[in-house]
Amino acid sequence: MPFRASISMLALLVSPCAASAADIEFWYGNIGTAEKAIVAACGAFNAAQQAHSVTCVGQGGYEPTMQKAIAAYRSGKHPVLIQFFDAGTLDLMLSDAVVPVEQAMPEVNWKDYLAGARSFYATSKGELYSQPYNGTTLVFYGNAELLAKARIDKLPETYEELAAVARKLKDAGVECPITTDGHPWRVLEQVAARHSVPIASRHNGYDGLDAEYTFNRGLIAEHLENLLRWRQEGLVKLDQDTRTGKYTAAFNSGECALMEASSGLYVDAFKALGDKVMVAQAPMYEGHKRYNTLIGGASIWLMKGHDEDRIEAARAFLDFIRRDDQQIEFTRATGNLPVTRSALELLQSSDKTRETEFATVDAGVRSLSAESTDDSRGIRLGFYMQFREIFQEETQKAFAGDQSMSQALDLAVARGNELLRRFEKTYSNVTLP
């Protein structure tokens, strides 16, 4: 259509060119359902105004996004906005490659963010570094049909009850009562946060880079011993024990009855199991008060080294996706949680919360906005990705029977501390913001 094309060219030429107009790039990591929602949000932003345009570029996963960002930043070709996942927070705070959103956009009411969503991305003094975006947290899933076999109609609230329920399920012929992958996000970080037990000294590293891991004693150690015992008893199946080799698939296929997992998995679970999916807050140990769980998912960071026009466009985009209606739409599409109070209140005041798309909001947000302490703010520990690998390696050996769980945790702590010391040295002349 050459005629129409030339008309639109003409329109472009004569339209008043706003001084601050800019095309910017936003790199994100999600794939699947969340990616569709992100692309839709970008499209909505571009359609909603003429001043700026954003190009959203998928990088195929959180880890590749970080890798490419590092490479791009080192060669000076980085975009203005990048989505990074929770575990990369400390690296970015110390990178000198980002502008804290609170500095870049002082006019925004950042206090509106839910405590659990905010503290993970804020400094120990409370300054927010990035804008929380796709927020998830740990929730507890159950399969009503399998639970009904053991005449159970509600999800257990404590681990003690959970063990009893699992035994009943086993007796009722459910081969796999509980499933997990033993990932530290689920069995270490979230358990520690909601019991307000630190996994490392200095409030999980918030007070300085000289922190040390401490989870090889106390509640966390007991929890992992329990998991090991429950697995030996046949109550817990790991990824490796399930037919599909993946705990979420084992739950979705009806092989397993219970799992602790991200609220973001609800969409898939509902697609597979429909009304049979039950959701609640993750269980606690008896005699402990419940504190907040940590936010999962990712936040958006504003990167340094761009001119004012592009920063302006980035601000406009961040403002747009922070809007209540945008957050609610994102929640609907992905099962993620709204991350600001105003969006949450708007959602709760509507009757949407009864719709299945919003089924995790109640449990998730209650979990995320429970009372917070210095030990439930988040994780601020160096080389944390490498530590997660170490933790899994050592505990897997314990699950396989090659060493005891206490040996595994001692080794994980020792190897983790070695990483922390090296990280401290790498940033020897930098103070933690």
| Identity of the residue, 285 or 427, whose beta carbon is nearer to another protein in the bound complex | 427
Residue 321 C-beta: closest distance to another protein, Å? 25
Max Cα distance, the chain (Å): 76
| Identity of the residue, 49 or 253, whose beta carbon is nearer to another protein in the bound complex | 253
DSSP H helices, 233-307, are 247-252, 266-273
Question: In whole angstroms, what is the distance from residue 193 CA to residue 369 CA?
Answer: 12
| Identity of the residue, 42 or 66, whose beta carbon is nearer to another protein in the bound complex | 66
Q: Give every CB contact of residue 280 below 8 A, 6+ residues apart in sequence.
A: 139, 140, 142, 154, 155, 157, 363
Q: Which residues bind another protein (CB under 8 A)?
A: 63, 66-67, 70, 73-74, 91, 94-97, 238-241, 243, 245, 383, 385-386, 389, 392-394, 396-397, 399-400, 402, 415, 422, 425-430
H-helix or E-strand spanning residue 237: strand 236-238
Residue 230 C-beta: closest distance to another protein, Å? 16
Residue 420 C-beta: closest distance to another protein, Å? 12
Residue 58 C-beta: closest distance to another protein, Å? 18
Residue 268 C-beta: closest distance to another protein, Å? 21
| Identity of the residue, 6 or 244, whose beta carbon is nearer to another protein in the bound complex | 244
Which is nearest to 320 in space by CA: 97, 47, 84?
A: 47
Q: How far apart are the first and last CA of the chain?
A: 56
Inter-residue contact 161 to 283 (CB < 8 Å): yes
Residue 381 C-beta: closest distance to another protein, Å? 12
Inter-residue contact 90 to 320 (CB < 8 Å): no
Which sign does the torsion angle of CA 214, 218, 220, 221 carry? positive
| Identity of the residue, 222 or 393, whose beta carbon is nearer to another protein in the bound complex | 393
| Identity of the residue, 67 or 356, whose beta carbon is nearer to another protein in the bound complex | 67
Inter-residue contact 250 to 242 (CB < 8 Å): yes
